[in-house]
Amino acid sequence: MNGANPKTAMRRGTAMSVAVLIVFLAAWQWGPGLLGIPSFIVPPLSAVANEFVRMLSRNALMFHTGVTAAEVIAGFILGSLLGAFFGYMLGMSPTAEVALSPYILALQIAPKVAFAPLFVMWMGFTVYPKILVAILIVFFPVMVNVLTSVRTVDPDLINLARSFKATRAQIFWKIEFPASMPPLFAGLRIGSTLAVVGVVVGELVGGNMGLGYLLAFGEGQANTPMVFVTILMLTLVGGIAYLGVIVLEIRVLHYLPKRALGGF
C-alpha cells in the first residue's frame, strides 16, 4: 500500500467514500421502515428532503444558515487570534504562564453552557452572546497547541541563534513561530468544528435567529424531519469551516509532505 500510486489511492478512496454514502442513504431511506421504526423517531430520507424544500420557502432556511455561518466565522477567527496570542505570550514568558495559567484553566473548566445565559442577560437576543460562547470554546485548544509547540522548540536551536547575537524578536520569527505553525493548524482544525458547537449552544439558550433557533423550534413542534434538516445544515457549516482550514493549511504549510497535510 505504501508504494501505491497516490492518484490511484485517491481514486480508490473516493470510490469507497461514494459507495459508503450510497449505502448510508439507502439505509436511511428504507431501513427505518424495514425495522419498524416510526417516522416520528427516524424519518426516512425522502421526508427529510421534502421538509428541506418546505423550509427553504417557509422558514427562511438559508437566512438562518447564513446567520449561523457568520457567527461561526466571527467566533472562530476571534477565538483563534486570542488563543494564538496567549499561546505565544505564555510560551515565551514562563512568568506569565505561571501567573495566568490557573485562571485560563479555570475558564476552560467552567462549562460553556453556563456562560450562554449570562451573555444573553448582558447583551440581549443579539449575535454577540453566540459569538462569545464560540470564542470561549475555540480559544483553549488553539492556545494549548501553540503554547506546547513553543515550549518544545529545540533549545539547541535557540542557543545557537543567541550565539549569533540574535534578538528575542528574531528568535521568535525565525525559530519559534515557524515551529508552531503545524500545531497551530491542528488547533485550528479542532476549533473550526467547536465553533459550530459554541454558536448552537448560544442560539439554543437565547436565540431568535440561526440554525439553533430552528432546532429549538422544530423540537417544540415535535417536527423530527425539521430537526434532521437543521442538524444536516449545521454539519454542512462545520464541514465547510473545516475544509477552509485545510485549504489554508495546504497553502501556508506547502513545504510539508502532502501526505501529512491530507489526513484528518
Residues 105 and 29 occupy one common structural domain: no
The SS3 of residue 118 is: helix
Rounded Cα distance between 258 and 232, Å, is: 30
Average pLDDT over residues 106-113: 80
User: Burial of 53 by CB count in 10 Å (0-12 exposed, 13-18 middle, 19+ buried)?
Assistant: exposed
**Please, what's the largest Cα pairwise distance for the chain?**
75
When divided into structural domains, the chain yields a total of 2
Task: Tell me the three cell numbers of residue 151.
Answer: 515550549
pLDDT tens per residue, range 39-95: 888 889 999 999 999 988 888 889 999 999 999 999 999 999 999 999 998 888 888
| Residue 258 pLDDT | 61
Banded model confidence at residue 104, pLDDT cuts 50, 70, 90: confident
Residues 98 and 174 occupy one common structural domain: yes
Residues 103 and 135 occupy one common structural domain: yes
| Residue 115 pLDDT | 85
| Residue 103 pLDDT | 85
Rounded Cα distance between 156 and 38, Å, is: 65
| Residue 240 pLDDT | 94
Determine the structural domain holding residue 225 and report its residue range: 43-262
Mean pLDDT of the chain: 86
Length reported for the chain: 264
